[in-house]
A and B are shown apart, each in its own frame.
Chain A
Amino acid sequence: MKLRHVAVYFPTFARGYLRNPLGLFMSLIFPVILILIFGAVFSNSGVSRVALTVENLDGNSPASVQFLNALNDTGVLSVAMVDPSVGDLSTYLSHHSLSAGLVVPSGFAANVTSHRPVHLLVYTNPTSSVGGIVLGAVNGVTNGFNLRLANGTVVLSTVALNVGGQTYAYIDYFVPGLIGFSILVSPMFSMVNISSTWKRDKLFRQLSLTPLSRAEWLTATLVWYVVLAAVSAAMLSAVGVLVFGAHVTLTWLALPFLVAGPILFVAIGLLAGSASGTPESAAVIGNVITFPMMFLSGTFFPVAVFPSWLQTVARFLPLYYVIDGLNAGMVFNNPGAVATDALIVFALALVASLAAVRVFSWRES
C-alpha cells in the first residue's frame, strides 16, 4: 500500500462528499438539529412534576390544606385543585384525559383530630407510568402524618446524592448518544449507497484501471469518515455544552470510538451494499440494519431505562459499545470502562473489515 496514493485520492473523495449538500447535511447538520430539538424537549426533565388533580370535600379545612401543601412540597407532585361541584372525580379525570387524582373526603380534619381512620381515594391510570410515582408520594406524606399523629420519632432517614458527586441531566447522556448516532449513520448510509451505485455506474471498474489499489481506496475512505466523526463530535459537544450546559468533555478517551466506530460501520455498510443487487435493495438493507441499532443502542435514551430483555438485545448491537464507551469517557471519565468497550469495538471493526475486504471486489467474474 502506497500512502502517496491514499493522499492523492483522498481530496477526490472528500470533494465528492463536500459537494453533495444532502450528504453533508445528514452527517453534520442533522445531528445538530437533533440535539437542539431533544435538548430543548428534555432540558427540564430533572424537575418535571406529575400533575395530581385534587377534589377536597373537606371544605379547605386547615388539616386538609396542610396535607395538600405537604404533597406539593414533595417536589414530585404538582397539586391542581378542582371544585367539589364537578362530582365524581373518576369521571372528571376520564373526561379531561388526566392520569392521577386524589379525593380528600369530607370530615378529614375532624377524623384526623380524633384519630379515626380516614380513607384517601387515589386514582391512577394503569396505562400511564406515573401511577407508581403518585402512590409512592401520597403514601410517603400519609406515613409522615401518621408518624406525627402517633408522636413517633424519626429513626431511619435518607439523604439523596448524585452519582460521582455531580448532577447528571438527560443532555449529558444525549451528547455521547448523538455522537454515536453520527458515527453510525454517516458511514453506514454512505457506504451502502456507494458500494451499490458505484458498482452500477462502474466507478470501481474505473478506479481499478488506475494504480490505486482497493486497500488504498478503503484507507482514504476510512480516513474521511474518521475526520467527519471527529468534526461531528466537536460540533455536538460544543452545542451540548454551550447551549444546554451539558457536563461532557471531549477527552482523548473518546478517541478510540471516533476511530474504530467509523471503521466498523464503513465495513458493515460495504458488506450490506455488496450483498444487495441494486441500489434500491441496498437502501432497504441499510435501513433495516441502521434504524433498530440506532434506537436500541442508547442513542436517544439510556439503555438502563429499557426492559431487561431489551437491554440484553442491546448488548448484541455494535453501536451499544460505541455509545457506552463514549459515555464512560466523556461523562464519567472512566478509563477502565472505556478500555473494555474500545477493545470490543476494535475487535468488531477488525472482523467486519476483514469480511468486507473478502466480499467486496472491484473486478467482475
Chain B
Amino acid sequence: MDEVVEVTGLEKAYGPLRAVGGIDFTVHGGEVFAFLGPNGAGKTTTVEILEGLRPRTGGEVRVLGLDPWTELGRLKQRIGVLPQDFHYFPKSTPREAVRLYARLFGEVVDEDALLGRVELSDKADDHFDTLSGGQHQKLGVALALVNDPEVCFLDEPTTGLDPRARRSIWEVIRGLRRAGKAVFLTTHYLEEAELLSDRISIIDSGRLVATGAPEEIIARFGRAERLRVTGGPELVGHLRGLGYAVEGDEGGVEIELRTRGDALRILETIDLSGLPWTSFSTKRETLEDVFIRLVGKLDNGTVRLGDKAEVPA
C-alpha cells in the first residue's frame, strides 16, 4: 500500500523543552490511523507539523511526498484538516463557509449534500456564533472535506458531540476509508479509535510507546483473556489444587486463560466437581485498559523509554 505519511526521527523543541523526541511512523493510503496519547504528550504538535502549521526541529516528514513546511502551498490542495479548537468567522454561515472554501480550492461542491453529510443542513444559514460547540465541530469536518482530500487530518473531531452526532462523524470517517482516503485521527475516545482505526500509535512524553493494529496492541500489551465463573468460595481452593492461577472473591473466581482450550477444560472440571456454580463469562482487555496501563506506567516512572528528561508540549 502507498505510504501517504512518512515520519522519520521527528523532533520538535520549544526552546529547552522537547515536545517530540524523535518518532517514526507511516500512514498508508486508505487506512484510518489513530494517533493517541494523554494531554501534553506531543499529539497536537505532531499533527500540526504534518499539516504544515508548525516547523519541525529535526527529522524528516513527508505527506503525499511533500515537505509540509516548505511545500504547503501544493500540499494543502490535497489534504483536509480539522484543527483542534476549530473556529470560524462569527458572522458567517456554514453555507457561506463551504462556498468560500469551494471557490478558493476551485472545486464545485454541492453545499447542501456536504452539510447534510455532517448533519448540519438545518443550521446551514445560521451565523457561526449562534451554533453550539458540536455544530462548530461538524462545520470544521465539512470544511476539511471540501477539496476532496487524499489525506484527512481530524484532530479530535467528535469532542463535544452528542452520541448521535458522534456516530454521524464516524460514518463520514468510514466513508472516507471506503473511498480510499487516508484518515489521520486524533482522539481522546479510545473506544472510537478501537472501533474506527486500522492502525494506532500511542505517544507519551514525546515518544511512541506502541504502534500497530488495535488487536495487536491489545495482544502485546494487554493482559490475557480471563474466565469468570460465579459460584461459591470453595471453587478457589478446588481450581488452585489443580494448578490454575486463580483470583477469587465472594461472588466467584477469575482464571487467566493461556489458551482458548483452557476455558473448556476449566468449565468441565468445575461441572464434574459437583461444586455449585451459576454462570460464566470471558473478559478481554480493551484498548482503553491497555492505554491506561501503558501511559499510567510511564507516568509512574516504572517504564523508562529513554534517559532524557522529556517535557510535554
Residues of A within 8 A of B (CB): 5, 8-9, 12, 15-16, 19-20, 201-203, 205-206, 208-212, 363-365
Contacts and interface: CB of A to CB of B under 8 A. Distances in A.
B203 interface: no
A8 B127 CA distance: 19
A19 to B, nearest CB: 4
Nearest to A7: B103
Contact of B76 (A15, A201, A210, A365): A210
B86 interface: yes
Q: Which 4 A-B pairs have the closest CB atoms?
A: A19-B91, A201-B87, A8-B103, A210-B104
A364 B77 CA distance: 20
Interface in B92-112: 92, 96, 100-101, 103-106
Contacts of A15: 91-92, 96
A206 B96 CA distance: 15
Interface stretch (B51-59, B221-229, B269-277, B291-299): B51-59
A203 B89 CA distance: 7
A16 B89 contact: yes
Contacts of B91: 15-16, 19-20
B48 to A, nearest CB: 8
B186 to A, nearest CB: 16
A211 B72 CA distance: 9
Contacts of A20: 91
Nearest to A363: B53
B105 A211 contact: yes
A363 B51 CA distance: 11
A222 B310 CA distance: 45
Contacts of A208: 53, 72
B96 A205 contact: no
Contacts of A365: 54-55
A100 B91 CA distance: 59
A15 B48 CA distance: 30
Contact of B88 (A5, A9, A206, A212): A206
B83 interface: yes
Contacts of B81: 209
Given A16-B92, A19-B127, A203-B87, A209 B51 contact: yes
Contacts of A364: 48, 53-54
A26 B76 CA distance: 37
Interface of B: 48, 51-55, 72-73, 76-77, 81, 83, 85-92, 96, 100-101, 103-106, 127
A206 B104 contact: no
Contacts of B106: 211
A65 B109 CA distance: 90
15 contacts: A9-B100, A12-B96, A12-B100, A15-B91, A19-B91, A202-B87, A203-B89, A206-B88, A208-B53, A209-B81, A210-B76, A210-B100, A211-B106, A363-B53, A363-B54
Contacts of B101: 210
Given A210-B100, A365-B54, 17 more contacts: A8-B100, A9-B104, A15-B96, A16-B92, A19-B91, A20-B91, A202-B83, A202-B86, A205-B53, A205-B83, A206-B83, A209-B53, A210-B76, A210-B101, A210-B105, A211-B104, A364-B53
A221 to B, nearest CB: 13
B67 to A, nearest CB: 14
A202 B53 CA distance: 11
B54 A211 contact: no
A9 B85 CA distance: 23
B86 A5 contact: no
Contacts of B96: 12, 15
A5 B76 CA distance: 15
Most chain A C-beta atoms within 10 Å of own C-beta, residue among B51, B72, B101, B127: B101
B88 A211 contact: no
Contacts of B87: 201-203, 206
A12 B108 CA distance: 18
Contacts of B86: 202, 206
A361 to B, nearest CB: 11
A5 B102 CA distance: 11
A202 B85 contact: yes
A12 B103 CA distance: 12
Nearest to B69: A363
A33 to B, nearest CB: 24
Contacts of A209: 51, 53, 76, 81, 83
A122 B104 CA distance: 77
A178 to B, nearest CB: 28
Nearest to B84: A202
Nearest to B82: A209
B262 to A, nearest CB: 53
Contacts of A16: 89-92
Contacts of A211: 73, 76-77, 104-106
Nearest to B101: A210
B274 to A, nearest CB: 68
